[in-house]
Structure 1
Amino acid sequence: MPHTSRPLRKLGFLTIGLYDEDDPGRGHESTLQLIELGERLGFDSAWVRHRHLQYGISSPVAVLAAATQRTRRIELGTAVTPLGWENPLRLAEDLATVDVLSGGRLNPGVSVGPPMFYDRVKDALYPQTAEAEDFGYGRVERLLDLVRGEPATGAGGREGFEVFSDRVQPHSPGLGSRMWYGGASLRSARWAGEHGMNLLTSSVVKAEGPEEGPADFATVQLSHIRAFRAAHPDGEDARVSQGLVVIPTDSASPEQRARYERYAAERLPRTAVPQGPGRMMFAPDLVGTSEVIAERLQAHAAFREVDEVAFALPFTFEHRDYEQILTDIATKLAPALGRRSGT
């Protein structure tokens, strides 16, 4: 089988950490155990996604703080933190703190735009300023400046017995270079490149051009990756991570295999044409043996342009399913993609 033009260098996975409302501790513990398993299996990174006012991880930074104390090597990321829910200064403090606790392993991914269902949540989230909040790229720029050590105020110095800093504390050198932007559009990809961020691209992209324009997911995603690198100071060396839903079945039971295939089949219709006024495009979930999945990835135009992945675990599965999927990804799929253990 031919290798990708960019050999797979970093192997990661993403989870949303679902839980039962009556027993949230078990779901959070499951997430931490999967991160520990990922480290043992040789994954390079583990990512968690925000789920606000849902039964998934609402505070990935807190969960990753716990993960820093249960792992030693694996990188820890958010994919992604929607900044519409965050105060950039407070978030910068939390990110720097977790990065220090991890020994420099944090990879924060962020995005902009109004919070989902903003009309429903705005009075609880911003009761006095809902109509004045700016959810544009400026919010990311503020966070980047603060994480990178730019002054937050001009009020540093000593006040009585207390000493104050002009910049966010703790300051974690290197964190600024590990900031990622989760972009689904060509505009976002270019913006992230221009601002020296890394790019997270997932199984969702925004179709560009007129209604009759191209509707091929891989081609659209490829255009985003190339536009990002063209705008980035590091050019072709700029980091891009791809996050498709991948479900290998090598060691799955017949019952698991059938359930995985039903899951993918139920989600397949949305991949046929761009969805909604935003013309969002979804990649099909990849289910099958590692050999079959590797062949499909090798034929994926955007996959051939990346050397980092954060394969997304499917929603609503059981802990034992995730263990099987992660084990097959690490031991079967990664070698089939040309990744050698420890590289």
Structure 2
Amino acid sequence: MPLTSEPLRKLGFLSIGLFDEADPRQGHESTLQIIELGERLGFDSAWVRHRHLQYGISSPVAVLAAASQRTSRIELGTAVIPLGWENPLRLAEDLATVDILSGGRLNPGVSVGPPMHYERVKDALYPDTADAEDFSFERVRRLLDLVRGEPATDFSGTEGFESFSDRVQPHSPGLGRRLWYGGGSLRSAQWAGEHGMNFLTSSVVKAEGSEEPQDFAEIQLSHIRTFRAHHPDGDRARVSQGLVVIPTDSATPEQRAKYEAYARERTPRTATPQGPARLMFAPDLVGTSAEIAERLYAHAAFREIDEVAFALPFTFEHEDYVQILTDIATKLGPALGWRAAA
């Protein structure tokens, strides 16, 4: 196999945490068990998605607070929290609290833009300020400043019997270096780099510029290089790639058939840019670990990074995720030069 990239240094996975409306506890418990399994298998990180008014994790910070008490080593991330739904000051307090509880293992990933279906949800979310809310990068900057310890008020000291701080408490000193921006455009890559964040790039990017057919890997590569060109750390700036990867080494025939059908149904959207935003989707990678490793080594963007958080498919069963994670940790990871954490 051609070793055309550096050995994979950090291996993570991403889960959406689906649940049944009639029994939400079971789905949340399944997510926590998967994170515990990831730690036992030696994964470096576990990430959860964020879904509002759907049947997936709506409060990833709360879920990761629970996960922090059931694990001791694995890093815990969000990919990503859409800040349009959040108050940056309150979110900064929650993130710092969970980071303290986890012993400094939290990796919050965020994004900006109006909430999905904003016209339908704005009266519930911002009944008095819907038309005044700012969903630009300024919302991320506010969060960054608050997490990094910048003043939130001009008052500190004692009032009566109570003491007050002028910055978010608790303050977790290392958390500011572990904030990630989830971006799929050149503009977001540049902004994240200029503001010293880490960069999450997923299986969705924007096809910008030319109307000619474009290659997903080359677009993603341009985002990575733009991010690092504008980051103070340059080529050492952290980037994590999040493709959908489904190894079949230990899968049953029934599981293999399900995985292949899942990928086949999603493949047409990868052929051309989709919708007004011209979104490009990466093909799901299904096959043996050796086959997937070969395809990754041929991927221009993968060759540029040494961290991944492979995305688990949305709709599979708990036992499917156990099989997929086990194969990633024991077969695919080593084929990519990765070594499990002790």
TM tier, smaller: over 0.9
Structure 1 regions of 5+ residues with no counterpart? none
Which residue number in structure 2 is paired with residue 320 of structure 1? 319
Query: What are the within-5 Å matches in structure 2 for residues 1-343 of structure 1?
Result: 1-212=1-212, 214-342=213-341
1:155 to partner: Cα distance? 1.4
1:338 to partner: Cα distance? 1.2
Q: Show CA shifts across 1:146-172 (max 9, x none).
A: 000000001111110000000000000
Contact 1:205 1:282 in 2 (8 A): yes
| Aligned mates of 2:113, 2:4 — CA distance in 1 | 34
| Aligned mates of 1:7, 1:176 — CA distance in 2 | 27
Q: Show CA shifts across 1:289-327 (max 9, x none).
A: 000000000000000001000000001100000000000
Contact 2:5 2:302 in 1 (8 A): no
Is the partner of 1:28 in helix, strand or coil? helix
1:211 to partner: Cα distance? 1.9
Letter in 2 for 1:336: A
Is the partner of 1:277 in helix, strand or coil? coil
| Aligned mates of 1:242, 1:255 — CA distance in 2 | 29
| Aligned mates of 2:75, 2:340 — CA distance in 1 | 16
| Aligned mates of 1:103, 1:60 — CA distance in 2 | 17
With the length of structure 2 as denominator, give the TM-score of the two structures.
0.99
Contact 1:48 1:60 in 2 (8 A): yes
Q: Please tell me the root mean square deviation across aligned C-alpha atoms, in Å.
A: 0.8
1:6 to partner: Cα distance? 2.4
Structure 2 regions of 5+ residues with no counterpart? none
| Aligned mates of 1:107, 1:191 — CA distance in 2 | 19
| Aligned mates of 2:209, 2:19 — CA distance in 1 | 40
Q: Show CA shifts across 1:11-56 (max 9, x none).
A: 0000000000000000000000000000000000000010100000
1:76 to partner: Cα distance? 0.1
Is the partner of 1:97 in helix, strand or coil? helix
> How many residue pairs get matched?
342
Is the partner of 1:311 in helix, strand or coil? strand
Contact 2:7 2:338 in 1 (8 A): yes
Is the partner of 2:77 in helix, strand or coil? strand
Letter in 2 for 1:66: A
Letter in 2 for 1:224: H
Contact 2:43 2:340 in 1 (8 A): no
1:280 to partner: Cα distance? 0.3
| Aligned mates of 1:158, 1:341 — CA distance in 2 | 49
Letter in 1 for 2:246: I
Is the partner of 1:340 in helix, strand or coil? coil
Contact 1:3 1:338 in 2 (8 A): no
User: Which 4+ residue blocks in structure 1 deviate beyond 6 angstroms?
Assistant: none
| Aligned mates of 2:6, 2:87 — CA distance in 1 | 37
Percentage of matched positions with identical amino acids:
83
| Aligned mates of 2:3, 2:83 — CA distance in 1 | 37
| Aligned mates of 1:286, 1:263 — CA distance in 2 | 11
Letter in 2 for 1:287: V
Q: Structure 1 residues 75 and 4, CA, compared in 2 at 3 Å: closer, same or farther?
A: farther
Letter in 2 for 1:221: Q
1:7 to partner: Cα distance? 1.7
Q: Show CA shifts across 1:162-192 (max 9, x none).
A: 0000000000010000000000000000000
| Aligned mates of 1:109, 1:140 — CA distance in 2 | 11
Q: Show CA shifts across 1:51-88 (max 9, x none).
A: 10000000000000000000000000000000000000
